[in-house]
Amino acid sequence: MIYLDNSATSLPRPPQVIRAVTNAMEHCASPGRGSGIPAEDAAEMIYRLRMEAGRLFHTEPEQVVFTTSATHGLNIAIKSIVGRKGRVVCSGMEHNAVIRPLRAIGADVQIARGRLFDREALLRDFDRLLTPGTALCVMTHVSNVFGWILPVEEVAELCRRRKIPFVLDASQSAGILPVDMSRLGAAFVACPGHKGLLGPQGTGLLICNHDTKTLIEGGTGSLSKGADMPDFLPDRLEPGTPNVPGAAGLLAGIRCVRKRGEKNILRHEVYLRQMAQRGLRQIPGVHVFCGEEQTGVLSLVSDKIDCVELGEKLARQWDIATRSGIHCAFTAHETAGTLSTGTLRISPGYYNTEADIMELIQAVEQLHRPV
């Protein structure tokens, strides 16, 4: 199989990640829930995870909260800052992991618009919308549909000057682009463990630099005599038994990222995306979406084949895994004018090769030949 859906989940996993998960299942108990070596090993491993994540995101280990997903972290971040009917500004590229929590709390959502890949127009609209009384600005670092790298540093600076809390969704950038918590001055940064960080599904991180509200409450292994949740991180946001095997795999994944280097990973993925883009745009009826500020993610539409049908044919006839549809990001498709059709998304990863891209181009070309 040729796997080109790394924006959804990285595959294959590095061997170190698989070994770490297996080792934790064989040898680790629950941290803070018992004495003895198995519990101590689990606690030590999770602390090492916080240390590695702190180095990656330029923050202190205690500010690193282990979550089940970016969605989990974004819900904590948004609901810690915004009350019902609070005014929130976000980009026109947001995932439903941002839009739906805002809708659920009845926030007054203002969307900064700009044509696809037009960062100056987007910045002008953020500048217009970030007015006094804004409770929060939340935005994605990279569009999961189009790979557009948004001007997050400039927007974060606008927020700092206007004293507006800023939350970054790093779902598509963590492990690929630098995410410097100290430089951004963000209130929160949320990311999944199973994408660019190469860890298992069901893991994520929330980097905290703001007061927090709990989503759920329960045992933490600390301050057990009291009925209230601890008032300190990370315990305050980590009730219940943690996913120890997942944490072990995520630790191994982050170490792989740090060893390879984010720049090297990005360079490889962008090279493959550019190769795909050059080949696919030569096929009559195929239209690709590309710009200057773009990761390895590439979306296309076809005049001849519905994107869902194209994705199914690539999978069934060529054993090529992509993703088609709306990608849980209807605002991005509204911005690009593709809401009625969706797109076929190609997202190569670190393990993909030139041969994979050549096979993809050949498959799409053959599927577009007249019958």
Question: What crossing angle do the helices spanning 307-318 and 354-367 adopt, rounded to 10°?
Answer: 120
- Cα distance from N-terminal residue to C-terminal residue, the chain: 26
Task: Give the 3-state secondary structure of residue 140.
Answer: strand
CB 76 within 8 A of CB 212: yes
Helices 244-260 and 15-27: angle between axes, nearest 10 degrees:
150
pLDDT tens, N- to C-terminus, the chain (371 residues): 999 999 999 999 999 999 999 999 999 999 988 889 999 999 999 999 999 999 999 999 999 999 999 999 999 999 999 988 899 999 999 999 999 999 999 999 999 999 999 999 999 999 999 999 999 999 999 999 999 999 999 999 999 999 999 999 999 999 999 999 989 999 999 999 999 999 999 999 999 999 999 999 999 989 899 999 999 999 999 999 999 999 999 999 999 999 999 999 999 999 999 999 999 999 999 999 999 999 999 999 999 999 999 999 999 999 999 999 999 999 999 999 999 999 999 999 989 999 999 999 999 999 999 87
Q: Are 33 and 221 in contact (CB under 8 A)?
A: yes
Residue 342 · residue 307 · CB < 8 Å: yes
**pTM of this prediction?**
0.96
The three state secondary structure string of 209-243 is: CCCCCCCCCCCCCCCCCCCCCCCCCCHHHCCCCCC
| 324: β partners | 344
Question: What six digits make up the tokens of 265?
Answer: 């990973």
How many CA atoms within 13 Å lie on the side-chain side of 240?
A: 10
Beta carbons of 101 and 79 less than 8 angstroms apart? yes
CB atoms within 10 A of CB 362: 12
**Orientation angle between helical segments 15-27 and 37-57, nearest 10 degrees:** 150
Amino acid identity of 41? D
